[in-house]
Amino acid sequence: MSALTTNGSAAKNSGGFSLIKILLEGRAFFALIAIIVTFSSLSPNYASLGNFLIMSNHVAIFGLLAIGMLLVILNGGIDLSVGSVLGLSGVFAGWLMQGVELGGLGANGVILYPPVWAVVVLTLCVGATVGLVNGVLVAFFKVPAFVATLGSLYVARGIGLLMTNGLTYNNLSGDASFGNTGFDWLGFNRLANVPIGVIIFAVLAVATAVMLTRSAFGRWLYASGGNERAAQLSGVPVKRVQIIVYVLSGVCASIAGLVLSSQLTSAGPTAGTTYELTAIAAVVIGGAALTGGRGTVLGTVLGAFVIGFLSDGLVIIGVSAYWQTVFTGAVIVLAVLLNSIQYGGPRKR
Amino acid sequence: MSAVKTGDVVLAARDVAKSFGPVQALKGVNFDVHYGLVTTLFGENGAGKSTLMKILSGVQKPTSGEIILDGVPVVLGSTTEAQARGICIIHQELSLAPNLSVRDNIFMGREIKGAFGVDYAEEERQVRALMAELEEDIDPLARVEDLRLGQQQIVEIARALSVDARILIMDEPTSALSAAEVEVLFKVIRDLKAKGVSIVYISHHLEEALTITDHAVVLRDGAMTAYAPRAQIDLEWIVRNMVGENFDLGSPPQGYDFGAPALAIKGLSVASHAGGLAVDAMDLEVRAGEIVCIYGLMGAGRTELMECAAGRLKAVAGHVELHGRDVSRLSIAQRINAGLVLVPEDRQRDGLVQTMSVGRNLSLASIRNFTRGIFTSRRDEEVIVRDSIRDVTVKTDGPNAPIGSLSGGNQQKVVIGKMLVTDPTVIMLDEPSRGIDIGAKAEVFRLLAERAKAGLAVVYTTSEVSECLSIAHRIIVMRRGEISATFPHTTTKEAIMAASGEQLVA
């Protein structure tokens, strides 16, 4: 029984599998193909496995941020603090790696060198804490997400600067005699020739995708982002969902901070400045709606690759950094334009 | 233009047809609007009323056919063009800017320019003159958001009049008004008629529309099925022509005994947004298998009562018991698990997740039922969704169809189906028939009656008296947060309306 509903919009929605529709749905994918083809023809160095892995390593950083951002955007919010949390996490990890002075002053003081696993766990806790503050402000105090996370953007950045006095922690490799070596493993090592950062990004992406499509929490998230009131009346714990997405976003930013500072073997308080915007751009290019409820991990990952491969490609063929900014901006506007074409139509009755 | 007199045809549609792709929304409709009279358009959702109105007001162009204004064929390319010819439409959702004053709203987009920018004094003077004409005491400088809904409607009408509208199209103007406000609106309509304004009126509220109309036109499936002046018609005639047969919303299911009390509300008080109490120390007991109808005007406290019982609103005092167990402290999800569910009044705002498919909307309230460990089971969900689509007879292309592709009635069935899937013992429905056509209404009521027979306790609210006298065993009238009367199902419309504080308008 498939009685056709009799209003106009139904016909419009289910109307055929046109080429335009396929192009529209898979736009991030086609854009990525176009970028790879274009730059491969412009530079012989672009299309090599080695280069793809290097570029992927760059993509991994804001890809990690973008996955956290996707969760928040699916919920109908926004998290502007991720760039700062990335920076703060790097600094925090660096501070722990330098050894923490405990107790008394001068010679009597005990300097504690936590092992790397403890550094990682404590750093993730920092990201989770900032996320928790964001989530509570948004869910319980009804502070608009834009404002709440703008506030934490400044606070987190400020704390990072205070901790280092504006300087950079340079020696993160630890000391064998203190038993805290191995921090650079994250950024330098490779498994089967694939950088660890890329692997972490891939694992996190797959885990998030499974969570979104197969778990009750994923369904709650899509529902509360699509219509919070309806979700609430259907028994979805909307406030809990809201807080959790900000915590997860903060944790993602901390992971990105750890990977980045490990890659650089240094932790500067200004790392990750404006990365939140790149992350938002990746999510939007990936087809997610800023109004919430629509978006996928695959799209976001593709979006991150589009931005990363585009800007690295421009570097490789020697285009000025100023032009890169222009291109990135144009891609974002185009993506939003296509989003509104895709989601704008069926809304009207 | 020669002198026109009351009853002359000022605007006519001749063989107007409109197709959207393969779907024919209008199949050659003839329609007359008479000078100084009210013509009401009756029809179910999807019968083509809105399409016809959009064509008459220049929002859409007909696929074929003509529009004749004052005897001359015209092409209305846009709403601005229609407005220039004196045709104005007032949509169901008001198009006012709530943050601006009445004056600014009325002159929005066509401000009177003086020597130094906008001539606010002149605008204000004109608004005062308009309000005096409408005999309405609305301050031109008041902000629209501070006005009551009925007053906002008057502002819309004033705006239409300020552009010299001769033909005013009103789409469901009373759907959000209280009885007193409806009275004011009707008085304004009568005044407008006397001034020579022709009115096209659309309403789902048949009884109300009958009190104001001079002519009735009934649409069904995009074609005009009947046309008659007021003197020759009654409610039954309209319904018969709308649905094509004698229609009846059912009668209370009989032949079984009610079970133990399922829902008991004891001394429940709920605060209102405006301050004071929306629900004032109310008691209500519903037994298994019983259907209770709560009748009341807007603002009588029905919605607050139900939302509080469902866990959305906090109670100021009193408690809610389900099968003798106090559930007042439970969350919405816990109450759903315990068997107490609510189908909210506004399905777009509170009922549906527009970004999800039909199937996912149906399974939303019962995700735990098909979650195994941490993962949801697609197979189990499919079974739940398929059974639900069949049980509540949702007409859809399938579980993956977008929810927006369904008609209002089918969307409502999805919202009801979603809650029935959770296997409740008590279901509360807030205005389940709002904005759905009479066919779907009958189906919804039949479904509820069936479930009641199987032991479900049903409480529903309505603001149409004819719906009280359908499947309900007991009718409760609410007024200002209290129960003002209780009737058996054998009561009369007049008794119910009198208890609610409204008069049968003759």
- Residue B287 sits in a domain of what CATH number? 3.40.50.300
In a domain, A221, yes or no: yes
Does residue B3 sit within a domain?
A: no
Which of A1, A4, A7 should we substitute to test contact with B (largest number of B Cβ atoms within 10 Å)? A7
Q: What is the pLDDT along chain B (506 residues), one digit of tens a residue?
A: 456 777 788 888 888 888 876 667 788 888 889 998 999 988 776 678 878 888 888 888 888 888 888 888 988 888 888 888 889 888 877 788 889 999 999 888 888 888 888 888 889 999 998 888 777 888 899 898 888 877 888 888 888 888 888 899 988 887 767 777 788 888 889 988 888 899 999 887 777 888 889 999 988 878 888 888 888 888 778 877 876 654 567 889 888 999 999 999 999 999 887 677 889 899 999 999 999 999 887 678 888 999 999 999 999 999 999 999 999 999 999 999 999 999 998 888 899 999 999 999 999 999 888 888 888 888 999 999 999 999 888 888 889 999 988 888 889 999 999 999 999 999 999 989 877 777 788 889 999 999 999 999 999 998 777 788 888 999 999 888 889 889 998 888 778 877 776 544 43
**B140 and B234 fall within a common domain:** yes
Residues B237, B354 within the same domain: no
Q: Is residue A47 part of a domain?
A: no
Residue B90 has φ and ψ, to the nearest 5°, of -115, 110
Instruction: Please state the domain count of chain B.
Output: 3
Within this chain, do residues B443 and B378 fall inside the same structural domain, yes or no?
Answer: no
Assess whether pLDDT exceeds 90 at residue A89.
Answer: yes
From the list A8, A216, A226, which residue is nearest B23 (CB)? A8
Domain of residue B308, residue span: 248-339+424-506
Cβ–Cβ of A232/B312 closer than 8 Å? yes
Indicate if the pLDDT at residue A347 is higher than 70.
Answer: no
b (16+ CB within 10 A) / e for A227-239: bbbbbbbbbbbbb
**Above pLDDT 70, what percent of chain A?**
91
Q: Is B407's CB within 8 Å of A227's CB?
A: no
Answer yes or no: do B410 and B428 share one domain: no
Which residues of chain B neighbour A209 with C-beta distances below 8 Å? none
Contact B217, B230 (CB under 8 A): no
Q: Are residues B217 and B288 in the same domain?
A: no
pLDDT for the residue B344? 92
Looking at the domain assignment, is residue A317 inside a domain? no
Whether B299 and B387 map to the same domain: the answer is no
Q: A91 in a domain, yes or no?
A: yes
Contact B367 A11 (CB under 8 A): no
- For chain A, how are helix, strand and coil distributed in percent, rounded to 5? 70, 5, 25
Size of interface A-B (CB pairs under 8 A): 128
Residue that terminates a domain, selected from B192, B208, B243: B243
Q: Are residues A214 and B21, on separate chains, in Cβ contact within 8 Å? A: no
- B387 plus B442 within the same structural domain: no
Q: At what angle do helices A116-139 and A238-264 cross, to 10 degrees?
A: 140
Question: 3-class DSSP state for residue B36?
Answer: coil
pLDDT the model gives residue B46: 64
Q: Is B368 a domain residue?
A: yes
Residue that finishes a domain, picked among B228, B243, B258: B243
Mean predicted confidence (pLDDT) in A157-168: 90
Instruction: Indicate the SS3 state at residue B322.
Output: strand
Rounded to a whole number, what is the distance in Å from the CA of A205 to chain B's nearest CA? 17
User: Å from A68 to nearest chain B CA?
Assistant: 20
* A34-81 pLDDT per residue, tens: 999 999 999 888 888 889 999 999 999 989 999 999 999 999 999 999
Q: How far is CA B444 from CA B258, B319, B415, B417, B451, in A?
A: 21, 30, 11, 10, 11
Amino acid at A186: L
Kindly state whether residues B166 and B257 are assigned to the same domain. no
**Interface touch A237/B406, C-beta < 8 Å:** no
Cα Rg of chain B, angstroms: 25
Q: Which residues of A touch B63 (CB under 8 A)?
A: none
Can you name the residues that pair with B319 across neighbouring β-strands?
Answer: B266
Give the C-alpha separation, B250 to B25, whole Å: 30
The number of folded domains in chain A is 1
Structural domain boundaries enclosing A128: 60-272+287-296
Domain contains A6:
no
A6: nearest CB among B23, B337, B368? B23
Closest by Cβ to A11, choosing from B22, B352, B374: B22
Whether residues B215 and B335 fall in one domain: no
Looking at the complex, report in whole angstroms how far the Cα of residue A223 sits from the nearest Cα belonging to chain B.
6
Spell out which residues of chain A touch residue B336, defining contact as CB-CB under 8 Å.
234-235
Same domain, B377 and B431: no
Collapse the DSSP code of A166 into the 3-class scheme (helix H, G, I; strand E, B; otherwise coil) and give the result: coil
Q: Which residues contact A149 (CB under 8 A, 6 or more apart)?
A: A77, A78, A79, A80, A81, A134, A246
Nearest CA in chain A to B354: A226
How does residue A280 score in pLDDT terms, banded at 50, 70 and 90?
very high
- Buried/exposed B198-232: b ≥16 CB within 10 Å, e otherwise: bbbbbbbbbbbbbebbbbbbbbbbbbbbbeeebee
Encoded tokens for B277: 């109490």
Q: What CA–CA distance (Å, rounded) separates A123 from A127?
A: 7
Return the residue in B405, B416, B429 with the most chain A beta carbons within 10 A, the one to mutate for interface testing.
B405
CB–CB of A284/A306 below 8 Å? no
- Residues on A contacting B at a C-beta cutoff of 8 Å: 2-15, 214-216, 219-220, 222-223, 225-227, 229-237, 289, 292-294, 346-347, 349
Interface contact flag, A7 B407, Cβ < 8 Å: yes
- Which of A73, A224, A227, A233 to probe the B interface (max B CBs under 10 A)? A233
Residues of chain B found within 8 Å of residue A3, distances taken between Cβ atoms: 395
pLDDT 10s digits, A170-197: 877 777 777 777 777 777 777 788 888 9
Chain B residue whose CA is closest to A1:
B397
Return d(Cα B300, Cα B484) in angstroms, integer. 10
Kindly report the nearest CA distance between residue A186 and chain B, in angstroms.
Answer: 29
Provide the pLDDT confidence category of residue A322 given band limits of 50, 70 and 90: confident
One-letter amino acid at B57 equals: S
Say which residue the tokens 């008991």 belong to.
Answer: B264
**Residues of chain B contacting A2 with CB distance shorter than 8 Å:** 397-398
Percent of chain A's residues with pLDDT above 90: 55
Residue B403 or A18, more confident: B403
Domain boundary among B223, B243, B263: B243
Residue B344: inside a domain: no
**Is B85 in the same domain as B156?**
yes
> Running DSSP on this structure, what letter comes out for residue B112?
P
Q: Does residue A310 lie in a domain region?
A: no
- B351 at A interface, C-beta within 8 A: yes
Residue type, A25: E
- B33 lies in some domain: yes
Determine the pLDDT at residue A344.
Answer: 63
Residue A73 located in a structural domain: yes
Q: What per-residue confidence (pLDDT) applies to A108?
A: 61
- Give B111→chain A minimum CA distance, Å: 29
Per-residue model confidence (pLDDT) at position B211: 87
Residue A33 belongs to some domain of the structure: no
For the cut 60, the answer to whether the pLDDT of residue A4 exceeds it is: no
CA angle A148, A153, A159 (to 5 degrees): 120
pLDDT, mean of residues A12-27: 64
**Residues from chain B contacting residue A232 (CB–CB below 8 Å):** 312, 332
Domain shared by B263 and B227, yes or no: no
Shortest CA gap B228–chain A (Å): 28
Q: Specify the DSSP element, H or E, that contains B178.
A: none
In DSSP notation, B302-362 reads HHHHHHHHHTSS--SEEEEEETTEE-TTS-HHHHHHHTEEEE-S-IIIII--TTSBHHHHH
| Start-end of H helices in B312-366 | 332-338, 358-363
- Best mutation target among B331, B367, B384, B428 (most A Cβ atoms within 10 Å) is B367
